[in-house]
Amino acid sequence: MQNYSEPITPNSISRREWLWQSGGGLGGIALASLLSDQFSDQALGATAAAASGGVVQPLHVPAKAKRVVQLFMSGAASHIDTFDYKPALIEQHGQKWDPGEKVELFQNGLGNTLKSPWSWKPHGESGKHLSEIVAPLGNCVDDIAFVHNMVAKTGVHSQSTLLQATGFQEPGFPGVGAWVSYGLGSMNKNLPTFVVLPDHRGFASNGAKNWSSAFLPAHHQGTVLRPGTENPINDLFPADNDFISNRSERDTQKLLEQLNERHQAERPGDSRLEARIKSYELAARMQLAAPEALDLSGEPEHILKLYGLDHGMSSFPKEINPVEETEYFGRKCLVARRLLERGVRFVQIWSGNDNRFPRRNWDSHEDIARDHGPLAIGMSMGAAALIQDLKQRGMLDDTLILWTTEFGRMPCSQGSTGRDHNPFCFTNWLCGGGIKGGVTHGPSDEWGFKPQDREHPTTCYDIHATLLHLLGIDHTRLTFRSNGIDRRLTDVHGHVIDELLA
């Protein structure tokens, strides 16, 4: 039996130990009931959305997906080194690149045509060509729909990251996940609806603005989860102190509730007082649920292997390398699966910090091979594992996965081995949740410089409209009035891309 008078601090015993010991006492909530709630939520299936406090009730259109995973490559992942196969670049490699028009570059280095440093191979029944650094996704291409004619509005990282993450170029607008939370509400009682797994080496451009709730109610904002840290959610457990113990915690909850209830009893007619009492109960539940969801120790060997987490290494070389990148991205993907299983509706996973040095991001101005290689291998291992794992659990059918980045990279070289920004063309892909697999939509031109059909590019508005559509939402009807304007995720744009729908 734990000595209750012993002060408890984050470092004195592990969180997990503390939780399991004190769990039964917190707010009188037993773990058993907690878990059963989760499973009953899951069992509710399609009706859960309607019962969970979203504003879209009933759904505008029948939903194909209930959950979303957004994979965001920060720094601008090169489409022509990963998913958009361009034989012309191989043929014209090293020659002067002349698309027959002025090329506006971000950093002024118009080099020769540059082929990808990697080889390409067709995969799956669809025969989709993938570069060898994303070959792990070869097993999944028949479930994936690729969009190769995405266009951004500028080559500035911050604005373009915001555009893909919130639908607007300037800060102050809700993230896609916040809109989905607002529209559909929560599917669980113990975890946030919208969870963000940032690259642990740092946030992308704009930091937390990318998952802000902005003008939407605050509980729709993305909650940052940091698996493997002492406090995976801000303030989930008490900061350093010398006075809080397991027992004091239990008695504090009890007395707090008692006094708050007396206060409330004298002040009828104000639901906020009750809501605040409830929020303390929920806090206690989250203290149990979050670490449980993040605990990978029960995952079997073959699952760890699937996500590339069987490398057996505890430290990594100083240089960027594929094993380490797989460890980081794969672990986030596995955590994402566990969160989805527990009713989290929207998980956003970031690969890459902001665009600093040494590069741990996709902004390969200097050397595509050095950065894109390890990052893409790690990303594709994790993403492929997530797709296959969800599929084998029957969850891919109603989980939508969206892979995106802020813009693409140029067909010509910068220096001799890097590529400059290309806001005129890049790739997105979608998978699961009502997406037609094995599809390639909207080709780019022969170099991947601009969309082949320049009059009809695909924009983030179209992607977001499609995403909402699959979730049962008409993107023109999910609105929130802010400062006199009925705001939408898709602003005044966006068309559902029918070709992508199963």
Among residue numbers 115 through 154, which ones bind another protein (CB under 8 A)?
153-154
> Binding another protein by CB under 8 A: which of 209, 332, 338, 464?
209
> Binding another protein by CB under 8 A: which of 131, 188, 205, 444?
205
Smallest gap from residue 316 Cβ to another protein (A): 21
Site for another protein contains 361 (CB under 8 A): no
Looking at 4-75, list the stretches that DSSP marks H as alpha helix, in order from N- to C-terminal side: 15-22, 31-44, 47-50
Identify whether the C-beta of residue 380 lies closer than 8 Å to the C-beta of residue 134: yes
Smallest gap from residue 210 Cβ to another protein (A): 10
List of E strands, 183-312: 194-197, 223-224
Smallest gap from residue 182 Cβ to another protein (A): 13
C-alpha separations of 491 from 61, 116, 392, 462 in Å: 20, 36, 37, 11
How far apart are the C-alpha atoms of 330 and 280, rounded to whole Å? 34
Site for another protein contains 198 (CB under 8 A): no
- Tokens for 368, please give them: 């595509």
> Binding another protein by CB under 8 A: which of 109, 117, 124, 238?
238
Residue number, 107 or 416, with CB nearest to another protein: 107
> Under rule CB under 8 A, how many of the chain's residues touch another protein?
78
70: left (phi over 0), alpha (psi -120 to 50) or beta: beta
> Binding another protein by CB under 8 A: which of 31, 273, 296, 369?
273
> Binding another protein by CB under 8 A: which of 93, 121, 129, 247?
247
Neighbours of 413 (CB within 10 A): 21
Site for another protein contains 11 (CB under 8 A): no
Residue number, 46 or 259, with CB nearest to another protein: 259
Per residue in 94-112, is it b (16+ CB within 10 Å) or e — as a string?
A: eeebeeeeebeebeebbbe
Q: Which 12-51 residues touch another protein, going by CB under 8 A?
A: none
Question: Angle CA(101)–CA(107)–CA(111) in degrees, nearest 5?
Answer: 55
- Tokens for 426, please give them: 């890049």
Site for another protein contains 212 (CB under 8 A): yes
Q: Which stretch binds another protein (CB under 8 A): 30-38, 121-129, 234-242, 385-393?
A: 234-242
- Tokens for 343, please give them: 């009713």
Cis peptide bond prior to 358, omega within 30° of 0: yes
> Binding another protein by CB under 8 A: which of 6, 91, 98, 104?
104
Q: Which 153-192 residues touch another protein, going by CB under 8 A?
A: 153-159, 161, 169-172
- For residue 69, give every residue at least 6 positions away whose Cβ sits within 8 Å of its Cβ, in sequence order, or none: 336, 340, 346, 347, 348, 349, 386, 399, 400, 401, 402
Helix axes 271-294, 15-22, angle to 10 degrees: 120
Q: Which stretch binds another protein (CB under 8 A): 180-188, 203-211, 336-344, 450-458?
A: 203-211
Residue number, 286 or 435, with CB nearest to another protein: 286
Identify whether the C-beta of residue 405 lies closer than 8 Å to the C-beta of residue 393: no
Q: By C-alpha distance, which of 321, 315, 427 is closest to 381?
A: 321
Residue number, 229 or 392, with CB nearest to another protein: 229
> Binding another protein by CB under 8 A: which of 58, 100, 265, 269?
269
Q: Which stretch binds another protein (CB under 8 A): 15-23, 31-39, 327-335, 482-490?
A: 482-490
Q: Which stretch binds another protein (CB under 8 A): 207-215, 342-350, 390-398, 433-441?
A: 207-215
Residue type, 352: G
Smallest gap from residue 240 Cβ to another protein (A): 7
How far apart are the C-alpha atoms of 465 and 141, rounded to whole Å? 23
Residue number, 172 or 228, with CB nearest to another protein: 172
> Binding another protein by CB under 8 A: which of 1, 3, 100, 242?
242
CA 315 to chain centre: 26
> Tokens 């720094």, residue?
75
How would you classify the pairing of strands 439-441 and 144-150?
A: parallel
Q: Which stretch binds another protein (CB under 8 A): 127-135, 247-255, 375-383, 459-467?
A: 247-255
> Binding another protein by CB under 8 A: which of 55, 110, 208, 296?
208
Residue type, 502: A
> Binding another protein by CB under 8 A: which of 42, 248, 417, 452?
248
Residue number, 92 or 246, with CB nearest to another protein: 246
The torsion angle over the Cα atoms of residues 44, 434, 403 and 391, rounded to 10 degrees, is 60
Site for another protein contains 217 (CB under 8 A): yes
> Binding another protein by CB under 8 A: which of 32, 255, 313, 502?
255
> Binding another protein by CB under 8 A: which of 243, 297, 298, 314?
243
Q: Which 367-426 residues touch another protein, going by CB under 8 A?
A: 423
Q: Which 297-356 residues touch another protein, going by CB under 8 A?
A: 354-356
How far apart are the C-alpha atoms of 477 and 468, rounded to whole Å? 10
> What SS3 class is residue 61?
coil
Q: Which stretch binds another protein (CB under 8 A): 45-53, 278-286, 315-323, 373-381?
A: 278-286
